[in-house]
Structure 1
Amino acid sequence: MSLHPEASILFSQLSEPFTGESLFDGLHDTVYFIKNAAGQYVVVNETLVQRCGLKRKSQLIGRTSEEILRPPFGHSFTRQDQALLQSGKPLVGQLELHLYASRDVGWCLTNKYALTGRDGGRIGLVGFSRDLDKHNESTEDYQRLGSAIRFAQESLAHPISVTEMAETAGLSRYQLDRRMRIVFGLNTGQWLLKQRIDRACELLQTTQKSIIDVALETGYADQSAFTRQFGRATGISPSQYRKVELRTQE
């Protein structure tokens, strides 16, 4: 994307490149980073340092996700980064369950964009992951969604649709989606996915149910579909998740 002439003039006058680092240091609910084409961190914010269980940015700079995070978590980020650099296609609003070195687990929305060099090649990427806000059940919007939410939560073992949720709430799909974004910061499809993965994580951590049984209890028709969706959201397989000791972020 080419810069507007006024922006080009401004950036040409800077004494040093603007990375956004100091800006994102003030956002405690957001992880921010810039990586080079080798996957090494070159810019990070304080929140990322803390969630990696480190004390200083220098402990991250020049290192890759796989060097910082224990297997298989670092590798999952590397795969995602490599796919982005190869395709050049941005990752926008990706709902992810992040598993941190501190053993905390929390949902976030991730955005990543490739950085293009002067020769047109992709030389790195920039990204951020923002924690999902805690919803307020006392709001009018939440109350209006109550019937749809209860219907979905009681029907997770079935492949319910957004249309069915909207009909239950007496809303159009557009109205339902608008209220879901206001209350949860997610569209209805993302919210449904979060409910299914949350339930699957609970079953994997607290029961000895087989992976296929967990898949069926969370509305998936078969194990392969469940494993693909679970991997996309968490970066690891259900069996790998089962082996990890975690604590949910407050």
Structure 2
Amino acid sequence: MISEIQDILGQLDKPFTGEELFDHLPDIVFFIKNTKGQYLVVNNTLVQRCGAQSKSDLLGRLPGEVLRPPLAQSFEDQDRKVLETGQPLVGQLELHFYATRDVGWCLTSKLPLRNRQGEVVGLVGVSQDLRLPDLSTDEYQHVIAAINFAEANLHDPPSVADLATIAEMSSYQLDRRMRRVFGLTTGQWLLKLRIDLAQRRLRTSDESISSIAMQAGYSDQSAFTRQFRRATGMSPRDYRNARRG
């Protein structure tokens, strides 16, 4: 099979990157970067979300040159880690904040690209938008009960085991159903729920960051800041300023 794939790819008029395929998937950002972290290949979705006019506006440039700080810095830090360690980043839950002012949750994965000698020569990555949930079937009635409980108790967030008990199933069974509905594990969904509340309060209120942290179930403001930065690429204060600016 490998030799057959190599034979097909060897007959192509130009190298296959997947760019044209990903141009038809509007809910996925796709890119290939070199060892400097500069864009070599991008799809139309990334162009649009960067507020650019064409792909040429992004090629050869770093995230920091096409995206607003400090979000761009987190992307560059991710790239550097993958390029330096050769370890992939898989299924990172992130809140993306684009130059177009669009904001949305994505699952991001980045894989190192290696040459025949095994050396890292770049990376390839995708960020897929989270899909809208479908809870219309009877199968998910117990899941809805767990979801409602979590949403009503974010100040003291339940554990995955707690939610599984409410849903009358094992943690594994709940995880499987949450993946079907949200594309997330139960733990990822809980994190998203808490960060969603926090970013909404940061954007619409003048409450202190410590107060917002408590509402999202964080008794330690520093722990809240670390988690928020990991999910959004910026501190709560920077996020508030960026959204209002």
Q: Find the counterpart in structure 2 of residue 100 from structure 1.
A: 98
Q: Find the counterpart in structure 2 of residue 16 from structure 1.
A: 14
Quote the Cα distance in structure 2 between the aligned partners of 1:11 and 1:54: 31
1:210 Cα deviation from its structure 2 partner: 2.0
Quote the Cα distance in structure 2 between the aligned partners of 1:118 and 1:22: 25
Q: Find the counterpart in structure 1 of residue 171 from structure 2.
A: 173
Scaled by the length of structure 1, the TM-score of the pair is: 0.93
Cα-to-partner distance string for 1:108-138 (whole Å, 9 max, x where unaligned): 1111101112333211110011111111242
Quote the Cα distance in structure 1 between the aligned partners of 2:122 and 2:169: 44
Identity %: 57
1:62 aligned to which of 45, 48, 60: 60
Scaled by the length of structure 2, the TM-score of the pair is: 0.94
1:244 Cα deviation from its structure 2 partner: 1.8
Q: Secondary structure of the residue that 1:31 maps to in structure 2?
A: strand
2:124 aligned to which of 105, 110, 126: 126
Unpaired segments of 5 or more residues in structure 2?
none
What is the 5 A alignment of 1:42-121? Answer: 42-121=40-119
Cα-to-partner distance string for 1:131-156 (whole Å, 9 max, x where unaligned): 11111242334423111011111111
Cα-to-partner distance string for 1:179-201 (whole Å, 9 max, x where unaligned): 11111111100100000000010
Quote the Cα distance in structure 2 between the aligned partners of 1:56 and 1:21: 14
Quote the Cα distance in structure 1 between the aligned partners of 2:82 and 2:219: 29
Q: Find the counterpart in structure 1 of residue 180 from structure 2.
A: 182
Which amino acid is the alignment partner of residue 121 of structure 2? Answer: I
Q: Find the counterpart in structure 2 of residue 29 from structure 1.
A: 27
1:193 aligned onto 2:191? yes
Q: Find the counterpart in structure 1 of residue 240 from structure 2.
A: 242
Are the equivalent residues in 1 in contact too, given 2:150–2:157 (CA < 8 A)?
no
Are the equivalent residues in 1 in contact too, given 2:142–2:166 (CA < 8 A)?
no
Cα-to-partner distance string for 1:208-245 (whole Å, 9 max, x where unaligned): 22222222211123112111111111111111001122
Q: Find the counterpart in structure 2 of residue 203 from structure 1.
A: 201
Quote the Cα distance in structure 2 between the aligned partners of 1:137 and 1:181: 12
1:157 Cα deviation from its structure 2 partner: 1.0
Quote the Cα distance in structure 2 between the aligned partners of 1:143 and 1:73: 38
1:81 Cα deviation from its structure 2 partner: 0.6
Quote the Cα distance in structure 2 between the aligned partners of 1:239 and 1:10: 52
Are the equivalent residues in 2 in contact too, given 1:136–1:142 (CA < 8 A)?
no
Comparing 6-15 with 199-208, greater Cα deviation is found at: 6-15
1:172 Cα deviation from its structure 2 partner: 1.2
Unpaired segments of 5 or more residues in structure 1?
none
Quote the Cα distance in structure 1 between the aligned partners of 2:204 and 2:52: 30
Quote the Cα distance in structure 1 between the aligned partners of 2:202 and 2:50: 24
Q: Find the counterpart in structure 1 of residue 218 from structure 2.
A: 220
Q: Secondary structure of the residue that 1:208 maps to in structure 2?
A: coil
Quote the Cα distance in structure 1 between the aligned partners of 2:198 and 2:42: 32
Quote the Cα distance in structure 2 between the aligned partners of 1:159 and 1:131: 25
Count of aligned pairs between the two proteins: 244
Q: Secondary structure of the residue that 2:243 maps to in structure 1?
A: coil
